[in-house]
Chain A
């Protein structure tokens, strides 16, 4: 009865609903893309939904991550989303994973599911998802956004092309901007995420034509959609293991400190230098006391400001740029400790109390 408005469709019917109820879908990332994917798959009756996320809600997430509310800023995304999705559909089985996807956990987590939705926000995770899905022979529905644009495709579907057939080499973080650092219009992930939910339902039920071997390019400013055809590069299916490393993924390179431990060091007035690598605007808006400000772009010119004989922590808004700074400094033999989650996590800690 609950699903009558879709089972009445002759192309869909009771048989497709039955397939949805038996499906196990893993959504990686519960942010701008993951939220609409989860809300619609949950509403439509997908039986089991896995969710991978370790971030907390930041006030700057609210313009696009429409499941979260003002009074939840600082709370973990995973638990917050879970509560709301359970209220939305009590028959769904949820499998929450409070972690980021890493080289170490990816295969174990993905193996439990029939199908993966890539709703992540960084290249390291995107390439990791591709490689893990190729190894495990899982289809994944990929969406990505930037500014006013979006990209959508279904990869590794019935022996079809993969992400690496389009983009063979993983870009460095510094090459291509991400939403946290360079902006996205709030509604764009809603559009692309909803299209991901649609493709997921089509893969599960077999209705329509799956967007495999085609890349949809969406431009919100021109309201234009372009479909680019591309082919399988067979070598991309012949993978036998994951890569040794996925660059600046959350699991890699250089020491880091959890926000709780950093806060203790702050309270104890431990002897350290705090390096803030955010932009001038971000720094003016909010910063921690006694921090040394060098925007990431200027890091090369102002290294002299870094105290070489001191313990140095590096911070940014979300923990990504600080990781890049950490790597750049390491190339110049300067060792610093990355603060996981950055200012967002610190503010979260303050609000949580």
Chain B
């Protein structure tokens, strides 16, 4: 399970991509589980009012079930112009 990071999530997590270990992956059944895990590990993520999560290039609701091979993306809005 790979988590691609965009915008300010790169700065918060301190990486371009996050690889989740097998132990962690086994615990994460849904997008909601993933969100809770990420905000525990990186509390500053919780400050983001809007953070879209995509699974396999599709916007994902909290209830979506995750698979081991999924590619996840954390997408905050950006405002620059």
- Chain A residues proximal to chain B, CB less than 8 Å: 29, 31-34, 118-123, 126, 143-147, 149-151, 166-172, 175-179, 184, 189, 215, 217, 219, 226-231
Contacts and interface: CB of A to CB of B under 8 A. Distances in A.
Nearest to B8: A176
Given A167-B50, A170-B49, A217-B6, A226 B81 contact: no
A123 B77 contact: yes
Interface of B: 4, 6-8, 47-50, 52, 54, 57-59, 73, 75-81
Contacts of B49: 169-172, 175
Contact of B8 (A122, A168, A177): A177
A187 B81 CA distance: 12
Contacts of A169: 49-50
Given A149-B6, A175-B8, A177-B8, A230 B81 contact: no
A87 B51 CA distance: 43
Nearest to B57: A228
Given A146-B7, A166-B59, A215-B75, A171 B80 contact: no
A151 B75 CA distance: 10
Contacts of A151: 75, 77-78
Given A146-B7, A228-B73, A168 B50 contact: yes
Given A169-B50, A228-B57, A231-B59, A144 B78 contact: yes
A119 B59 contact: no
Nearest to B48: A175
Given A226-B57, A229-B58, A230-B58, A32 B81 contact: yes
A31 to B, nearest CB: 6
B29 to A, nearest CB: 22
Contacts of B48: 171, 175-176
Contacts of B50: 166-171
A144 B80 contact: yes
5 contacts: A32-B81, A171-B76, A176-B7, A228-B57, A228-B59
Contacts of B80: 32, 121, 144-146, 178-179, 184, 189
A167 B75 CA distance: 9
B77 A228 contact: no
Q: Which 9 A-B pairs have the closest CB atoms?
A: A230-B59, A167-B50, A121-B81, A179-B80, A146-B78, A169-B49, A167-B77, A145-B80, A33-B81
